[in-house]
Structure 1
Amino acid sequence: MGLAPWPEGTGRHVLAEVDSTNAEALRLAARLTGPAWVLARRQTAGRGRRGRAWADPEGNFAASLLLRPGGGPAEAARYSFVAALALHDALSQAAGPMARLSVKWPNDVLLNGGKLAGILLESAGAGPVTLVIGIGVNLLEAPPATTLEDGALPPVSLAGETGQRLSPEEFLDLLAPAFARRAADLQAHGFAPIRAAWLARAARLGEAITARTGAVTRTGRFDGIDDSGALILTTAAGREAIPAADIYFGG
């Protein structure tokens, strides 16, 4: 596969072991002036959304990107969609044109209907946001199903579904340029083309899904995302924009 060049001005830190690449990126933030990727060959305390543990078998991809994108939290949140598209781009290049990839709101990439990758955004600082985008990809091995919560999609691996085997460093060489291209698109043209590209790859668009926020559960038709990235759900009660929730496909 042809490789795009590493993004100019972007740091690259490869560690044998770390507690969490997001935590390490935030620790490095004070002494880094530009964007930087932090890749760990092993995480001892990886985490996902809402404080959940992230299972990270050896050979899988665990990395975080430190950014200072400008703007406030609302603008920073849009980078979740930039990251999802970049992951889709990089995985398409790794797996080939026949791979059945899709994106799942708000932060997953699916392969053949199973969860292949997840994204975790964290931020620090008042005013202009220091943003860390953590990305985990099951390159070689899917974590055991016993680690899943009820209703979660089954995990899959790139190697298991496609036979393609990449090291974490090789995958970073695909992902970093892909992210730089998508981020440049956001900076140049705003969120609209990112939103359109994300919707073109969205899993279950126009179909029934269930959204859970705390103790509240709603089931309705997934009608896309709005200009803020909130999920649009149409139920018997009407149309609602949901800024944060866990999504379940059911059946």
Structure 2
Amino acid sequence: MSTDPDFGAWPEGYDRVFLDETDSTMAEAARRVGLIERPTWILAGHQTDARGRRGKKWQVPPGNLNATLICKPEISAADAARHSFLAANALNAALALYVSQAKLGLKWPNDVLLRRKKVAGILLESSGRGPFVDWLSIGIGVNLKHVPDGVTDAAFPPTSVVAEGGKEVSPEDFLTTLAGCYATQEAKLAELGFARIREDWLRHAARLGEEITAKTGRETITGTFDTIDADGNLVLITGAGPRVIPAAEVFF
């Protein structure tokens, strides 16, 4: 384990922790929340119990990125949820340095597609009972080098940067790039507000203006992907008019 190896320029105001192995970087972040003084990125070489959204298993072969940013911002739960769009924008900018931007697309609410296949995912967790969250964790997995095995039933099958002809990059170097891009997004948020984050996200949104399907726990809604609103909700134009969808699985 190393707390600060030299993998290149690192953004000011952020700490980093590198682990050879842990159960999951999200679980590690929760254990460390009382110890951090500044926003801290945690990178693991191997995870024994990695997970994605809704408790799904997330395979992370060696050479891919397993990382979590843990921080204690003074923001509401709603503002914390919007940070998935900051993370998506940062991922898009970082990945575009290693693979063609034209091949990338941001899939609502928190995936990155590469040639319409899943290359990266984002998982948010937060906790707090007052007006502000006590902490926020942003987990990020990126298939840099390897495509996970045995994924046969996914609507968006996995791929990797290398598999699609992109440049090979180590997880440590990619995290340095990603951390810098994320710091830029935080600076934009502070200076220009979420409207600018939303604008940047929509510029790279997959299937914007096209027909998509959103499956909630209660219904399936098909319509034209019109936009995301000021809260980050998906807006579809259907035969019955606009539908605002706060949470769903999206298919196209």
Normalising by structure 2, report the TM-score: 0.93
> Which residue does 1:24 correspond to in 2?
28
> Which residue does 1:65 correspond to in 2?
69
Q: Is the 8 A contact 2:118 2:158 kept in 1?
A: yes
Give the secondary structure class of the aligned counterpart of 2:190.
Answer: helix
Give the secondary structure class of the aligned counterpart of 1:89.
Answer: helix
Higher helix share: 1
Structure-to-structure mapping, 1:24-173, within 5 angstroms: 24-95=28-99, 97=100, 99-127=102-130, 128-129=132-133, 130-144=135-149, 146-150=150-154, 152-173=155-176
Determine if the alignment matches structure 1 residue 236 to structure 2 residue 247: no
Q: Is the 8 A contact 2:151 2:157 kept in 1?
A: no
Distance 2:141 2:158 in 1: 12
Q: Residues 141-196 of structure 1: CA distance to partner in whole angstroms, max 9, x if unpaired? A: 1113x43545x111110011024111110100100010000111011111011101
After superposition, the Cα gap between the structure-2 partners of 1:149 and 1:51, relative to the gap in structure 1 and judged at 3 Å, is: farther
Q: Is the 8 A contact 1:39 1:62 kept in 2?
A: yes
> Which residue does 1:223 correspond to in 2?
226
Offset at 1:131? 0.4
- Say how many residue pairs are matched: 244
Q: Is the 8 A contact 2:234 2:246 kept in 1?
A: yes
Normalising by structure 1, report the TM-score: 0.93
Offset at 1:224? 1.0
Structure 1's consecutive aligned runs of 4 or more residues displaced over 6 angstroms after TM superposition are: none
Q: Which runs of 5+ in 1 are unaligned?
A: none
Distance 1:221 1:74 in 2: 25
> Which residue does 1:247 correspond to in 2?
250
Q: Match of 1:63, as an amino acid?
A: A
Identity of paired residues, percent?
Answer: 52
Structure-to-structure mapping, 1:192-207, within 5 angstroms: 192-207=195-210
Offset at 1:9? 2.4
> Which residue does 1:181 correspond to in 2?
184
Offset at 1:99? 4.9
Distance 2:17 2:146 in 1: 23
Distance 1:91 1:186 in 2: 21
Q: Is the 8 A contact 1:119 1:135 kept in 2?
A: yes
Q: Match of 2:53, as an amino acid?
A: R
Give the secondary structure class of the aligned counterpart of 2:47.
Answer: coil
Q: Is the 8 A contact 2:151 2:158 kept in 1?
A: no
Q: Is the 8 A contact 2:43 2:67 kept in 1?
A: yes
